[in-house]
Amino acid sequence: MAKKVLMCGNEALAEAAIIAGCRFYAGYPITPQNEIPAYMSKRMPEAGGVFIQSESELAAINMVFGSSLTGARAMTSSSSPGISLKQEGISYLAACELPAVIVNIMRGGPGLGNIAPSQSDYFQAVKGGGHGDYRQIVIAPASVQEMADLTMLSFDLADKYRMPVMILGDGILGQMMEPVEFKAETKPGIKKDWILDGCKGRKPRIIKSLILNESELEKFNLKLQKRYKEIKDKEQRCEVLYGDDSDIMLVAYGTPSRICRSVVEKLRKKGKKVGMIRPITLWPFPEDAFKKLAKKIKSFLVVEMSCGQMIEDVKLAIDCARPAHFYGRTGGEIPGEDDIIKEIENING
Amino acid sequence: MDKIFEKPESIREKETHYCPGCGHGIVHRVICEVVDDLGIREKLIGIAPVGCAVIAYDYWNFDVTEAAHGRVPAVATGIKRSLPDRIVFGYQGDGDLGAIGTAEIIHAANRGENITIIFVNNTVYGMTGGQMAPTTLLKQKTATTPAGREQKMHGFPLKVCELLSVLPGVVYAERVTAHSPQNILKAKKAIKKAFENQIKGLGFSIVEVLSPCPTYLGLSPQDAVKWVGEELTKEYPLKIFKDIT
Amino acid sequence: MAKVKIDPEKCKGCGLCILYCPKGHIKQSKALNKKGAYPVGMTEKYDCSGCSFCAIICPDLCITIDK
C-alpha cells in the first residue's frame, strides 16, 4: 500500500493527473486554483511532459485541443471567470470528439465575484456552457483523496468516450490539506486510432467541427446523443447514506456534502431519520438512485453553495414525486451545520 | 514528353469552393508544392482557420485540423509541443490572425514556437460577406464601411509583419504577394524558407501573402490582381522584415 | 514547343492566365461550361515556350504543361 501524504486538493489533483499519464498542461493564473499550474510547472518537466503558462484561458483550452488531437492526455484548469472563457474551446473539443480534462475550482460569481468557494457554475457545467448540442461529463470530488482518485477516472472517461470531462471542485476542496494516497503509480493509456501525427503509412486524417450539410450535422449530433445515452446508462455515480430508513434525504455535492455528512451523523445520534445522497457525477446526474429513493423517502433537502441550481436536476430526477426543499448560501458564504439542522426541523414541522 | 507543370501530390483533385480569381487556391497549391519539394507530407499537420479557407482540409492531402476562429497559433502550439519532430503549420486569414486571434499570434510568436504561419491578407472578411478586416485600407469600401474605411471610426490598417518582426521569438517574417506569376514564385521561395526554418528548429516563421479577393473588392479577377500589385503593395510593402536564421 | 492542357470543366473563367500569357495565346471561350463559367482555352495556333505563367497563376489547378 502506498503511503499517505499530506497535500492540498489542487496539488493532489495535479499529481494524480501526472500519474494518469497527463503530459500536457496549459493554464492561466486565477485564484483559487493557482496551486495546479504551480505544481505542474515543476512536475511536468520531470515527467517529460509540457507545461505552458498561456496568454489566456482561450489560448490554454485551444492548446489542449491541439495536444489532445495528437493523442496526448491533456488538461487545463481554471476558476469560474476563466472557465467562462474556455467554453468556446470545450464546445470545439466536444464537436471534434477530443478527450480532455478541464478543472474548475469554482469561486463566487457572477462577474469577477470573489475568490471564496462557490458552486454557482453548476448550470454552466452540466447544461452545456458552450454553444451547440453537446454534453461533458462532470465529476464532483468531495475530499482531497477524491481530487486524486476522480482525476484519474476523469482521464479514463475522457479517452473512453472521446469527450471533455470537467472536474467541478470549489475553493475549499482546492485549498484544504488532507492525507491522500495515490493508489497507482502509472496508468496504462488507451490506444487511439484517430489521432493526427502525420499520415505516414496511412491515409490522411481530418479533425474538424464544420459540417455544412444539415442532414450530416444532424446525423453527427445524433451519434453524440447515442454516446451520451450510453454514458447516462453506465456512468452515474453517487454515494448514499442511510438510503433505506430515512424520512428526509439531504442532497449535496462537493464541500456542502462534507457539512451535510456531519449533520447526518449528528442527527442520527439523536435518532432522527436523516440521510444523504451525494452525486459524484453531476452529468450524468445519478437519476436512477434518486428515482429509487423517491419511492421510500418523504422529502429531499438540497444544500448548495449557490442560489439553487442542482435542485432543478433533483426535481427532474424524482419527477416532483416528493417535495424538494432548498437551502443555499451564495457569494462565497458556506452553509453551516446549525442552519441545515434548522431547515430540517422546519421541514419536519 | 516531360511534365513541366502538374498538380503537387499534397493537393487533392477536388475542385475548390473559392470564387473565380481568388488567391486562396494559389496559396494552397504553393504550400503543397513546397511540402512535396521538402518531402514532409507524411510528417505534416496543417491547421485550417475560420474564414474562407475553413474547408482547406478538403483540398490538402495530409493530416489537417481546423481551429476555432483565431486560435490557430494556440492549436499549433499544442500540437508542436506534443509532437516536436512533426512539421506544423497554420493557415490564417486577416480577420482570423489580425482581429480575433491577435493575442494568440503575438504570444505564439513571442514564445518563439517552432511553427510556420502562412498569413493570407486579402483585406476583407470573405466568408461572411465582405466586411471590413483589420487590414482593410483607409477609404476602402466594404460591407461594413460603405463610405470607405475611416481612420477616426475604424483605426488604421494593421501591419502584421511589421508588428511581429520586433518580437525576439520571430526568426523570419516576410511579406510576399500572389498577384502575378513572378511574385508567386517569390512567395514559394519564402514559404519554403519558412518551412525549412522549422525543420532546422530555428523558431517562429511567418509569411504574409497579399492575395486578391475579386468578389469583395468588387473588381474583375484581372483588375483585382492589378489592384493588389499596384495599390495594396503601397500600404503593405513587399519585404523581408526579419531574417535572423 | 510545349503542350498546354486546360481542363474546361474545372476552369472558373477568371482569366488570370489570359492576363499573364506573354504571348497572348490563351482566350476565353464563348460557350459556358457545366458550372456556368466561360472557360479558357488555347488559341488555334498557339506557340508555347513553357514559361508556365498560366499554370502558376491559375487558382484552380486547371492547367498542365508538357514539354
- Specify whether A208 is located in the same domain as A250: no
Residue B168 lies in a domain: yes
Query: A85 is in which domain, residue-wise?
Result: 5-234
Longest dimension (CA), chain B: 60
Interchain contact, B22 vs C55, CB within 8 Å: no
Check if B24 contacts C (Cβ < 8 Å).
yes
Is the CB of residue B44 less than 8 Å away from at least one CB of chain A?
yes
Closest chain B CA to residue C37: B20
Query: Residue A39's pLDDT is what?
Result: 98
DSSP per residue over A299-332, as a string? EEEEEESSSSSHHHHHHHHHTTSS-EEEEE--TT
pLDDT of residue A195: 98
Task: Tell me the helices (H) and strands (E) count for chain C, helix number first.
Answer: 2, 4
Whether B62 and B40 have beta carbons less than 8 Å apart is answered as: no
Q: How far apart are CA B130 and CA B145, in angstroms?
A: 10
The pLDDT of residue A1:
55
Where residue C60 sits, what CATH number does that domain have? 3.30.70.20
Q: Report the CATH number at residue B214.
A: 3.40.50.970
Q: Residue by residue, what is the 3-state secondary structure of A261-293?
A: HHHHHHHHHCCCCEEEEEECEEECCCHHHHHHH
Nearest to A168 by CA among A136, A122, A129: A122
Write out pLDDT tens, residues B161-183.
999 999 999 999 999 999 999 99
Distances (CA, A) of A99 to A66, A76, A162, B25, B138: 11, 12, 5, 33, 45
CATH number for the domain spanning A84: value is 3.40.50.970
CB C2 within 8 A of CB C67: yes
Q: State which amino acid sits at residue B182.
A: Q
| Matching residue, cell 510576399 | B176
Q: What is the pLDDT of residue A182?
A: 95
Q: Are residues A217 and A281 in the same domain?
A: no
Amino acid at B134: P
Q: Which of A62, A71, A206 sits opposite B67 (nearest CB)?
A: A62
B contacts of C12 (beta carbons < 8 Å)? 19-21
**Chain C residues with CB within 8 Å of chain B CB:** 2-3, 10, 12-16, 18-20, 37, 50-53, 55-61, 63-67
Same domain, A11 and A61: yes
Separation of alpha carbons A144 and A340, rounded Å: 24
Q: Could you report how far apart the first and last alpha carbons of chain C are, in Å?
A: 7
Specify the number of domains making up chain B: 1
- This prediction has a pTM of 0.97
Interface test with C, best of B5, B61, B188 (most C CBs within 10 A): B5
User: CB A62 to CB B103 under 8 A?
Assistant: no
Residue B169 CB-density burial (10 A; 0-12 exposed, 13-18 middle, 19+ buried): middle
In the stretch 154-193 of chain B, residues with CB closer than 8 A to chain C read: 180-181, 184-185
Q: Is residue B15 part of a domain?
A: no
Residue A245 burial by CB count (10 A; 0-12/13-18/19+): exposed, middle or buried? exposed
Closest of B183, B190, B195 to residue B207, by C-alpha: B190
Provide the 10 A C-beta neighbour count for residue A74.
32
Residue-wise pLDDT for A53-71, tens only, equals 999 999 999 999 999 999 9
At residue A2, the pLDDT reads 73
Displacement of CA A302 from its chain's centroid (Å): 18
| Arithmetic mean of pLDDT, A1-11 | 90
- The C-alpha cell 458556506 sits at A334
Strand (E) positions, A171-298?
Answer: 177-180, 206-207, 238-241, 248-251, 274-279, 281-283
A86 and A209: one domain? yes
For residue B11, which residues of chain C lie inside 8 Å, CB to CB?
A: 61
Higher pLDDT, A349 or A347: A347
Q: ipTM higher than 0.90?
A: yes
What total number of domains does chain C contain? 1
Hey, is A161 helix, strand or coil?
A: helix
B225 inside 8 A of chain C by CB? yes
- Cβ–Cβ contact A54 with B under 8 A: yes
> Grid coordinates representing B207?
509569411
What distance in Å separates residue A91's CA from the closest CA in chain B? Answer: 10
* Cβ contact, residue pair B222, C59, below 8 Å: no
A52 touches chain B (CB under 8 A): yes
A122 shares its domain with A180: yes
Residue in A111, A119, A124, A140 with CA at minimum distance from that of residue A307: A119
The set of chains that have 3 or more CB pairs under 8 A with C is: B
Within 10 angstroms of residue A177's Cβ, the number of other Cβ atoms is 13
Q: Residue B223 contacts by C-beta under 8 Å, 6 or more apart in sequence?
A: B214
Q: Are residues A151 and A284 in the same domain?
A: no
Distance from CA of B94 to the nearest CA of A (A): 18
* pLDDT 10s digits, B108-155: 999 999 999 999 999 999 999 999 999 999 999 999 999 999 999 999
Give the C-alpha separation, A288 to A295, whole Å. Answer: 11
Is B11 among the domain residues? no
Rounded mean pLDDT of A13-23? Answer: 97
At A22 the three-state DSSP class reads: strand
What DSSP character marks residue B61?
S
| Residue B166 C-alpha, separation from nearest chain A C-alpha, in angstroms | 18
Contact state of B42 with A200 under an 8 Å Cβ cutoff = yes
Query: Are both A132 and A204 inside the same structural domain?
Result: yes
Using DSSP, state whether B41 is helix, strand or coil: helix
Considering A191, A215, A234, which residue would you say is the last residue of a domain?
Answer: A234
Q: Are residues A255 and A218 in the same domain?
A: no
Closest residue in chain A to residue B58, using alpha carbons only: A206
* Residues A83 and A175 placed together within one structural domain of the fold: yes
Please state whether the peptide bond connecting residue A32 to the residue before it is cis, i.e. omega within 30 degrees of 0.
yes
Residue B48 included in any domain: yes
Nearest alpha carbon to residue B49 among B74, B16, B26 = B74
With residue B116 as reference, give the H or E element that holds it: strand B116-121
Extract the C-alpha cell encoding C14: 477568371
- Residues A94-129 have pLDDT tens digits of 999 999 999 999 999 999 999 999 999 999 999 989
The rounded distance, in Å, linking the Cα atoms of B204 and A146 is 42
Q: In terms of residue numbers, what domain contains B151?
A: 23-243
Identify the segments of chain B with pLDDT beneath 70.
none
Look up the CATH number of the domain holding residue A244: 3.40.50.920
Query: How big is the A-B interface in CB pairs under 8 Å?
Result: 128
Are A212 and A317 contained in the same domain? no
Domain boundary among A234, A268, A284: A234
Give helix then strand counts, H and E, for chain A. 12, 15
- Is A68 in the B-facing interface, judged by CB distances under 8 Å? yes
Residues 71-130 of B with CB under 8 A from A: 71, 74-83, 86-87, 103-104, 106-107
Q: Which three-class secondary structure state does DSSP give residue A25?
A: strand
- Where in the sequence is the domain holding C15, given as residue range(s)? 3-66
> Are residues A111 and A253 located together in one domain of the fold?
no
A64: chain B residues, CB-CB within 8 Å? 78
CA distance B235 to chain A (A): 30
Closest residue of C to B3, CA-based? Answer: C66
Residue found by looking up cell 472521446 in the block: A162
Q: Does B14 reside within a domain?
A: no
Last residue of some domain: A214, A234, A254? A234
* Residue A11 clears pLDDT 70, i.e. is over it: yes
| A224 shares its domain with A259 | no
